[in-house]
C-alpha cells in the first residue's frame, strides 16, 4: 500500500437497512448505523442476536455461506462493498479479521506476519522486515519475540498467538480490523494485553469488535451498538447505537438498560 493511500483512506462504514437471510430464515433485519473511523465500535447483545452475522457482512465473509443473502447497502469510504466491481479478496485485504480463537498459520512468527504482504507481491527482504517489525510493534508483541522470529507460532502462548494474529491482520495495512470475541478464550492477563493493544490500534485503524463482556465493551470501545432478538420468530435488530459512556450510564431504550444491568441475556 502506498503512503498516499494510507493517508487518504479513512475506514468509514455506513450501513443502510441491512438484512441477512439464511435460506428462508431472516437472521437480522433493518440495521442502519454509522461506524466512524479510527475508533472502536463494540457490538453487544445476547447469544444469537446477530452480532457475528453483522460483523461478517462488513468483509463479505457471509459470501462463503451458500444460503446467506445480504440486502440493503453497506459502503466503505463511500463505495458499495456488495457492488459487482468490488473484489471480495481485495475487500478482505482492506478489512482484516481476528477470530475468537487464535489461528496462527503453522509456520514461523516472521512468516505469519509476512504472509499477506508476500501474497500481495512484496518480495524484498528489507521491505518484509520493515512490515513485520511495524506490525508486531503495533500488536504489542515485538518486544517479546524480536530475538526469535524464526520460532514456530504454535510455541507461543495463547495470548501471544492472538496478538500475532492481530499483527498478521495489520501487515496488509487494512483500514478496518474486525474482531469476533478476540479475548474470550484467553486468561485475564492475556485479555488485558489484547485490550491494551486494541486501545493503541485505533490510532491507525477502525476497529469493530463483537463481545459478550460488558466490562470489556465499557473499557475499550468508543461507540456501542446493542442488538437483540426478541423471539425466535423475529429477526434480530439493532436496538440502539451511541457513545459508550452514554449507553452505559443513560441508555435510551429500556431493553438496553435491562441487558447492561444484567436483568436478561
Per residue of the chain (265 residues), give pLDDT as tens: 333 334 455 899 999 999 999 998 999 999 999 999 999 999 999 988 999 999 999 999 988 888 899 999 999 999 999 999 999 999 999 999 999 999 999 999 999 999 999 998 999 999 999 999 999 999 999 999 999 999 999 999 999 999 999 999 999 999 999 999 998 888 899 899 999 999 999 988 999 999 988 999 999 999 999 999 988 889 999 999 999 999 999 999 999 999 998 876 5
In the numeric block, the cell 438498560 is attached to 257
Asked whether 55 and 207 are in contact (CB, 8 A), the reply is: no
Distance CA 95, CA 154 (A): 25
pLDDT at 265: 54
Query: With left for phi above 0 and alpha for psi between -120 and 50, is residue 18 left, alpha or beta?
Result: beta
| SS3 state of residue 181 | coil
Amino acid at each position: 500500500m502506498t503512503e498516499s493511500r494510507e493517508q487518504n483512506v479513512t475506514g468509514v462504514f455506513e450501513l443502510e437497512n441491512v438484512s441477512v437471510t439464511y435460506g428462508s430464515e431472516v437472521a437480522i433485519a433493518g440495521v442502519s448505523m454509522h461506524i466512524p473511523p479510527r475508533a472502536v465500535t463494540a457490538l453487544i447483545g445476547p447469544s444469537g442476536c446477530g452480532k457475528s452475522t453483522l460483523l461478517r457482512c462488513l468483509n463479505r465473509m457471509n459470501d462463503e455461506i451458500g444460503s446467506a443473502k445480504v440486502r440493503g447497502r453497506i459502503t466503505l469510504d463511500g463505495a458499495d462493498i456488495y457492488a459487482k466491481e468490488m473484489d471480495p479478496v481485495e475487500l478482505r485485504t482492506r478489512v482484516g479479521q481476528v477470530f475468537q480463537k487464535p489461528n496462527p498459520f503453522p509456520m514461523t512468527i516472521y512468516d505469519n506476519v509476512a504472509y499477506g504482504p508476500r501474497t500481495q507481491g512484496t518480495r524484498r527482504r528489507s521491505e518484509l522486515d520493515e512490515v513485520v517489525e511495524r506490525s508486531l510493534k503495533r500488536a504489542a508483541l515485538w518486544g517479546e519475540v524480536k530475538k526469535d522470529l524464526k520460532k514456530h507460532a504454535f510455541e507461543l502462548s495463547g495470548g501471544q498467538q492472538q496478538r500475532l494474529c492481530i499483527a498478521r491482520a495489520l501487515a496488509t495495512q487494512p483500514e478496518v480490523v474486525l474482531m469476533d470475541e478476540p479475548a474470550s478464550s484467553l486468561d485475564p492477563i492475556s485479555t488485558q494485553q489484547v485490550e491494551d493493544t486494541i486501545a493503541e490500534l485505533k490510532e491507525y485503524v477502525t476497529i469493530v469488535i463483537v463481545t459478550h463482556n460488558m466490562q470489556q465493551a465499557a473499557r475499550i470501545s468508543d461507540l456501542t451498538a446493542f442488538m437483540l432478538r426478541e423471539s425466535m420468530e423475529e429477526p434480530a435488530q439493532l436496538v440502539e447505537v451511541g457513545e459508550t459512556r452514554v449507553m452505559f450510564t443513560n441508555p435510551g431504550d429500556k431493553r438496553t438498560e435491562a441487558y447492561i444491568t444484567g436483568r436478561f441475556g
